Amino acid sequence: MVSKIRWGIIGTGNIAKKFATGLQVCDDAELIAVGSRKQMTGDAFGEAFNVPRRHPSYEALANDPDVDVVYISTPHSLHHDNTILCLEAGKHVLCEKPFAINVRQGDEMIRVAREKKLFLMDAVWSRFQPAHMKLRELVGEGAIGEVRMVHSDFGFRTGGVDPKQRLFNPELGGGALLDVGVYNVQLASMLFGPPTQVKALAHLGETGVDEQAAVILAHKDGRLAVSSTAIRTKTMHEAIVYGTKGWITIDPPWWRTNGLTLTVHGKDPEHIDATMTGNGYNYEAEEVMACIRAGKLESDIMPLDETLSILRTLDAIRAQWGLKYPME
């Protein structure tokens, strides 16, 4: 019997809880440790998910000798430091999106992982879900001909604007783009590769972060990716991939979906079921563990060079708005 891969989680917020829930359906995973800046929150998380080791600091979690791989779920501004902390301690890392604040940080994270010969991956969980795997299969086999355009949106409305709240705080890398707009950018990257041109407009709110934005990415051979994102405007959560022979609609919410609809010109639409097991976070965990068992240092589905390319695109978008974070 293959021994279980032992996970640690840094951070105890909402995403950490979702990931811990996802791990529960992975037969070869064991969540053995959590690291928090406060013992009280670590203990509460440990009780909720039956985690035996509740470390009172991120450093203690990183240095736990029995942890094989760490999932980092802290605010955006901490991803760089937390990832390098764990890599330097000899741990494989799955880092929640956005992978880093900017490409400079991301490049350093990847450099350390490669020097240490440790696995590192950007936690773009939708990439590994059955519907998105099926989408790549359909596109690859030419089901809608040559793909020419993709439209996607990911926006939600929060309550009041709290300057200390993560989404509105520049010190924590707040704003719509890094929180949810990154999903749109990675979808375009998955289908088209890096853009050749970036056009973007945003409304920067009273705290200085982007509260809503529209982005157009031009790609090779005239292909286009058109997207919108927001933290103060709820959108329909749709994504449509258009080709020369038809289109594929990803069932909303498209980044956490259970199906697709294939429409080919001249034929009735065909709905394709791709129901997830678990809550969806289990698929990225399974990819990490499969790569580690195979001795791979990165995922073929979410490779590190593509992660850097996505960060370059995010940097280029923010540059058009004049949005620079304090840590930059």
Model confidence pTM above 0.95:
yes
Q: Give how far Cα 50 sits from Cα of 27, 33, 47, 69, 305, Å.
A: 16, 10, 5, 18, 36
Q: Where are the domains of the chain?
A: 5-126, 130-275
Pairwise CA distance, residues 112 & 122, whole Å: 15
pLDDT at 72: 98
The arrangement of secondary structure in 5-126, i.e. its CATH architecture, is 3-Layer(aba) Sandwich (3.40)
User: Hey, what are 68's tokens?
Assistant: 């094989």
Which class would CATH give 130-275?
Answer: alpha beta
Mind listing the pLDDT tens digit for each residue in 97-154? 999 999 999 999 999 999 999 999 999 999 999 999 999 999 999 999 999 999 999 9
Report yes or no: 307 and 113 within 8 Å, Cβ to Cβ.
no
pLDDT at 1: 47
In what side-by-side order are the strands of the sheet with 259-264?
A: 197-204, 210-218, 224-230, 147-155, 239-243, 246-250, 259-264, 270-273
Mind listing the pLDDT tens digit for each residue in 282-307? 999 999 999 999 999 999 999 999 99
